[in-house]
Structure 1
């Protein structure tokens, strides 16, 4: 198995690196570290090639040094590590890397984003869950051990969510999940199905989890994202899992994307589950 861990060497990126090492040891997987050097066109165009080259060489050397230190630290934990360094557009480069090497997991840290940045630009973690559909684990705080005992799987009760739920159940043992909580959020929108229909659909999902400790919850709130966060806080969940479906860009801007918003605002780790 292969795990990808993007890093910008920040504190939350280091939290993600620690979590990725724990996961790699558990899965006996290769860990691939990825760093992208990016610079604005306005900045780079202000220098000619002769002036800019020494600066670029220094930045690359510093990044290589940081990656080498992380590799040494990972090797000390008995984790096999490969290093990838690129420059240019972060999202383009990480997509190309994933196209070349299919990864079973992506583990990355997130500071979150808010206001105009959240809706129009987004954090790097938000961009990754928007464009890359594989198992993505988003880390916000230090994770000293791979023990996330209480997990909520938030679902819109779509057929594809059942595929993602099965993928999630297959990996619960890896994350030492003991309690699975199936959650469906009801809002005041006029297009919501009746409560009894949603509750019956939840039973269908619960049947998939036969043999697991699984509880179903029907929760009302002002929005799906708010409901997931409020339920997580009230029930003291250790992990939020949610299937990530593609969404039209214009609809995402005007209506938001639940997975991206949860990634930005949740205080616990978020697992964007592969639904393929």
Structure 2
């Protein structure tokens, strides 16, 4: 892990994410890439890209760079290499382009979550990034004076398609020096016996060289509540899981457990694209 991207709208939640990024950057000798996306009408973006003097676009560019300078002077960023970028794409497109261009290893985002009708119809920017990102996304809700991961819950159905994302999770667990807690949630609608569940997890993990883990089969009314309740029961520092990146009508009808967790969990959540 050498390059961390932190999208920011200069909010308190975004700065919470940046503070975690700074701690990780100091520990693992990483560079930080700050990204701010300006939401402007297309004609204004075209005007700015053609180097015309478009007052509103120029104003927001200057304001963003001023806020970047204020951020970069924070004590917690001292002695770190911090790059800044202003983009005019939608947030998830901007994240995609900057990540590809700079070979980003980890995206860290702040979120305060949304709920109700707004959650159903719009979703948060963080959710959109989680849904579309090919790179692991770490979502931070609260301020962490000392970010550490001793207990890492990885929730999964432990089917073959999740093996690549589990490998990513293992890489982070090793980097953090964390103990992995492998979790399968049993629900009334998708019931599997404890014996069958343990056998599936054992088969799943047999091809990986990592033994510092525990196995848990947890019963609850839904997968999301099961993950949240189990994480609470062991005071987990981080919840990790795969995301399928559903789009369009499929996402509307099926939803995404990882996106719901990002919205509703108070603990940090890290997602890995299948």
Fold equivalence (TM over 0.5): yes
Q: Deviations over 1:23-65 (max 9, x none)?
A: 1222212110000111478xx9xxxxxxx94343332222111
- Alignment partner, residue 12 of structure 2: 11
TM-score by length of 2: 0.87
Shift of 1:79: 1.2
Paired with 1:147 and 1:127, the residues of 2 have a C-alpha distance of 26
Alignment of 1:66-215 (within 5 A): 66-73=67-74, 76-177=77-178, 179-189=179-189, 192-207=191-206, 212-215=211-214
CA distance in 2, matches of 1:82, 1:257: 32
Report the alpha carbon displacement of residue 270 of structure 1 after superposing the two structures with TM: 0.4
Q: Does 1:227 align with 2:226?
A: yes
Moved more, 117-126 or 205-214: 205-214
Structure 1 residues 137, 157: closer, same or farther in 2, change over 3 A? same
| Distance in 1 separating the partners of 2:249 and 2:221 | 22
TM-score normalised by length of structure 1: 0.87
Deviations 1:74-94 (A, max 9, x none): 785221111110124222222
How many residue pairs were aligned?
265
Q: Distance in 2 between matches of 1:164 and 1:88?
A: 27
1:206 Cα deviation from its structure 2 partner: 4.7
- 8 Å CA contact 1:167–1:274 kept in 2: the answer is no
* Partner in structure 2 of residue 60 of structure 1: 61
- The residue number in structure 1 matching 2:25 is 24
Distance 1:15 1:68 in 2: 17
Equivalences for 1:260-271 in 2 at 5 Å?
A: 260-271=259-270
Decide which moves more: 30-39 or 163-172.
163-172
Residue in 1 that maps onto 2:271? 272
Helix, strand or coil for the counterpart of 1:160?
helix
Change (3 A) 1:164 1:23: same
Once the two structures are TM-superposed, the CA of residue 128 in structure 1 deviates from its matched residue by 0.2
Structure 2 residue aligned with 1:47: none
Two-structure CA RMSD over aligned residues (Å): 2.4
Task: Pick closer, same or farther for the CA change 1:201–1:108 going to 2, 3 Å.
Answer: same
Alignment correspondent of 1:48: none
Mapped to 1, the partners of 2:192 and 2:248 lie a distance apart of 25
Contact 2:19/2:76 (<8 A) preserved: no
